[in-house]
Every structure is written in C-alpha cells, then in structure tokens.
C-alpha cells in the first residue's frame, strides 16, 4: 500500500509543469539535454522533479545551494534513470556539495592489519550510508564538456545504482538473472584489460582510475558511456553493449547528424 501511494505521488509530481527557470538552467549546464528527443526531455524533467522533492541538498564549506546547483546535479543524475523502472536511488537521502575539492580521511590497511587514516583531496564520493558528496567545480567542468570522459555526477550516482543491492562491487541489479553471467564475464574481462594496460602505462579510453576496483570500473565505464560513447563503442564494443542493455539507452544515436 505504501509503495502504491509513493508511486501515485511521484506520478503527480512528474505531471506538473516544469518551471521555465529550471529548464533554462538545464539548457545551459547539461549538454546532453540538447541531444534528447522531446519524449526523453519530458521524462527527464519528470524524474528531476521527483529527485529534487525526495533528496536533500546541503552546502559544504559555506557553499550556498542554489537552483542552478540542485537542478544541474539532479539532471545529470536522472539521465541514468531514463527508460528504466526506477526507485530514485532508494539508499540516498542527501547530496552534499562543496565549492571545490575537499579533504576527507582515507582508511588504509597496512602490515599486520593495522589501519591508518590519512587526508585525501576528493572531487566526489558515494556512501552506502545514504550520502553523495560532490565538488561543484567538477560538476561545472562536466557541464562545459571540458572533462572529456569525466563526469563526477555520472560517476558517483553509478555507485548509488551499484549499491542498491547492498553491495558496491560493480554489479548493479539487473532486470533478468540470466544476464548476470554475461555481465560478470564481459566486465570482468574488460576490468582485467584496463588493469593490465594501466600497469604498463599505456593510453586507455577508460580512465585508469577504473582499474582500482570492479566498483570503480563500473562507475568509470558509465562516465565514458554517456560522455564519449563513440570511443567506448569502438574500443570496447561488448562493454558498450552491456551498458546499453543495462541503461536501456544508446547514446551514440544522439551523436548522429540530423
């Protein structure tokens, strides 16, 4: 009953007129919006409405949260939800935004199991405790297309999708159990390939940070899938197909000349 009421409430919000001021923000800050057809734009705007209603935004280091910050981040995050049944990142309740890179403690396990903490500058992180942290400078870089394959919002929200089953391991919930074997085989092979090429200092289409772990590989691959789909398809066709099946989108179609 509670789920039915939630879906009904969400449907009402999706159907409300989208504020003109918000649309102007998206047109200015979210490049992919201009490549969506009218149906996808309407779906995206409906998702944005729900996400902004259900998730709390907080400013870090004195940053004032504006509509530009909220709507830009929500728009990028909702691109990952197009064409799919979604529960709007159910483990997420807050998005914290810093003006730029921020410092967080990183835990490292050393010899004899000793854990040490050391400060580390970050542009974003995703927590299984329900928080995504982003550096606004990095989001703006993605908005200007200056980041190449990098988009910190796609990256951190891919981690949220990965975490929906309670484990962050590079394997999000797939709609059909029969697809897990292909997912594990293809992404496992591509992850091993990136680790091999990165260890030898070779140039790679995927960001070498993806060689850190299977979870980071999925997030990095998601970034490239939406920002540089042609490159990903050319260099990693099977990986592209797996992501296309998962996200129910083919970004390459949006790059074709009209």
Q: What's the domain count of the chain? A: 2
| C-alpha span between 127 and 236 (Å, rounded) | 29
The yes-or-no verdict on residue 83 having pLDDT over 80 is: yes
User: Using 50, 70 and 90 to split pLDDT, how confident is the model at 258?
Assistant: very low
pLDDT value at 104 more than 90: no
My answer on whether 175 and 87 are in the same domain is no
- Do residues 116 and 174 share a domain? no
The rounded distance, in Å, linking the Cα atoms of 57 and 189 is 38
The length of the chain in residues reads 258
Q: 139 and 176: one domain?
A: no
208 with 257, same domain: the answer is yes
- Structural domain includes residue 155: no
**Token representation of residue 154:** 């796609």
96 and 207 in a single domain? The answer is no
User: Considering 147, 180, 211, which residue would you say is the last residue of a domain?
Assistant: 147
Question: Does residue 206 lie within any of the structural domains?
Answer: yes
Average pLDDT over residues 236-244: 98
Residue 179 CB partners (closer than 8 Å, separation 6+): 245
DSSP 123: S
- As a whole number, mean pLDDT of residues 198-209 equals 96
Q: Does the residue 159 lie in any domain?
A: no
Residue 154 domain-assigned? no
What CATH number has the domain bearing residue 27? 1.10.472.150
CA distance linking residue 213 with residue 216, whole number of Å: 5
Mean pLDDT of 20-40: 96
Mean predicted confidence (pLDDT) in 124-139: 96
Q: What percentage of residues in the chain have a pLDDT greater than 70?
A: 91
Query: Alpha helices, DSSP H only, in the chain?
Result: 2-15, 20-29, 38-54, 67-79, 136-143, 152-162, 180-199, 214-227, 229-235, 237-247
What integer pLDDT is reported at residue 118 of this predicted model?
66
Q: Is the pLDDT of residue 228 over 80?
A: yes
Q: Tokens standing for 116?
A: 């040490």
- Tell me, yes or no, whether 182 and 122 share the same domain: no
Q: Same structural domain for residues 3 and 51? A: yes
* Residue 199: CATH number of its domain: 3.40.390.10
Whether 12 maps to a domain, the answer reads yes
* 107 confidence band (pLDDT: 50, 70, 90): low
The CA distance from 247 to 241, in Å, is 10
* Residues 90 and 189 reside in one and the same domain: no
Q: Is residue 153 part of a domain?
A: no
Q: Are residues 130 and 212 in the same domain?
A: no
Does some domain include residue 193? Answer: yes
Predicted TM-score (pTM) of the model is 0.93
Residues 41 and 124 grouped into a single domain: yes
For residues 76 and 103, the model is more confident at 76
- Is there a contact between 172 and 246 (Cβ–Cβ < 8 Å)? yes
DSSP 173: P
Arithmetic mean of pLDDT, 19-29: 97
Distance separating alpha carbons of residues 229 and 225, to the nearest angstrom: 5
Q: What is the mean pLDDT of residues 123-151?
A: 90
pLDDT band, very low/low/confident/very high, at 111 (cuts 50, 70, 90) = low
Is 235's pLDDT higher than 80?
Answer: yes
Higher pLDDT, 119 or 5: 5
Residues 18 and 93 grouped into a single domain:
yes
Structural domain range at position 218: 169-258
Task: Please identify, among 116, 147, 178, the residue that sits at the C-terminal boundary of a domain.
Answer: 147
Q: Among candidates 156, 131, 163, 142, which has minimal Cα distance to 57?
A: 131
Task: Please check whether residues 138 and 12 belong to one and the same domain.
Answer: yes
DSSP 8-state code for residue 251: G
Q: Is residue 130 part of a domain?
A: yes
Mean pLDDT computed over 78-98: 97
């Amino acid at each position: 009953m509670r789920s039915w009421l939630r879906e009904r409430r969400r449907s009402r919000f999706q159907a409300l007129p989208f504020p003109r001021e918000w649309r102007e923000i998206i047109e200015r800050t979210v490049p992919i919006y201009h490549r969506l057809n009218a149906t996808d734009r309407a779906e995206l705007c409906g998702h944005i409405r729900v996400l902004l209603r259900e998730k709390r935004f907080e400013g870090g280091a004195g940053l004032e949260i504006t509509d530009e910050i909220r709507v830009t981040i929500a728009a990028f995050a909702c691109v990952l939800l197009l064409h799919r049944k979604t529960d709007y990142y159910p483990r997420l309740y807050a998005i914290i935004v810093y003006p730029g890179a921020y410092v967080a403690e990183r835990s490292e396990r050393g010899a004899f199991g000793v854990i040490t903490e050391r400060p580390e500058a970050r542009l974003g992180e995703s927590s299984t405790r329900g928080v995504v942290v982003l550096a606004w400078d990095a989001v703006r870089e993605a908005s200007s297309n200056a980041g190449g394959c990098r988009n910190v919002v796609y990256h951190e929200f891919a981690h949220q999708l990965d975490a929906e089953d309670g484990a962050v391991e590079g394997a999000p919930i797939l709609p059909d159990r029969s697809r897990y074997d292909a997912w594990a085989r293809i992404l496992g092979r591509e992850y091993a390939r990136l680790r091999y090429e990165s260890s030898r200092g070779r140039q790679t289409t995927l960001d070498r940070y993806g060689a850190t772990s299977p979870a980071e590989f999925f997030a990095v691959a998601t970034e490239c899938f939406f920002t540089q789909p042609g490159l990903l398809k050319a260099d990693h066709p099977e990986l592209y197909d797996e992501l296309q099946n998962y996200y129910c989108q083919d970004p390459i179609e949006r790059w074709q000349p009209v």
